[in-house]
Amino acid sequence: GGVDGKVVIWEEQDKVFIPLDSIKMDRPIIVVLGLFDSRIAFSCDDKKIFIYKINDSFANIQKGLCKYIEDEILIKHKGRVSCLCQLDNSYIVSGGTEKIEGDKKISDRYIIVWRTVNNKYIWSQTLKKHDSSINSIIQLRDGNFASSSTDRTVKIWKPKTENEGDANNKYEKYELIYD
């Protein structure tokens, strides 16, 4: 993704990358994330996260086409979405940053946790412990994730364990364990 508003999907063939498909938006692309289930998530210069999936209709498969189509749009941030991270097959975490709209500065220093229900992402939790924009989010080996911010802090988040909540939703809520 780039300032031209275009996301290009590449495929490796014999150690050479060939463009497979592209998605054109009317505004710059900020961050792109490939998801485990062959979907892609990206954000533009606004508060939306776009989820695209492969159009796997029989006609496209017969023609050898791989085209991505819009699947859903996630809206919960107040400012621009600055980073995305997939935690496992069911969760995406997004971080917000400040955005200037006219004379107003919209502050979004939150981390949003999204989970899948029936193959669609829904809001699960908003984490509000940073004092400024979120720079990055990364999953750690132990199942926790870390977030960094322009407030010059790194915070570590862990999912609640089974005995702290419903066993079917053990990753639904995150708590701060390191500040």
Mean pLDDT by groups of 10 residues along the chain of 179 residues: 83 84 85 82 88 71 66 90 85 86 81 89 90 92 90 89 50 67
Question: 73, 50 in Cβ contact below 8 A?
Answer: yes
pTM comes to: 0.80
Enter the tokens of residue 171: 């990753």
Separation between Cα atoms, residue 51 and residue 23, nearest integer Å: 11
Question: 10, 22 in Cβ contact below 8 A?
Answer: no
Separation between Cα atoms, residue 156 and residue 174, nearest integer Å: 10
Enter the tokens of residue 65: 């086409």
pLDDT value at position 60?
57
What 3-state DSSP class applies to 178? strand
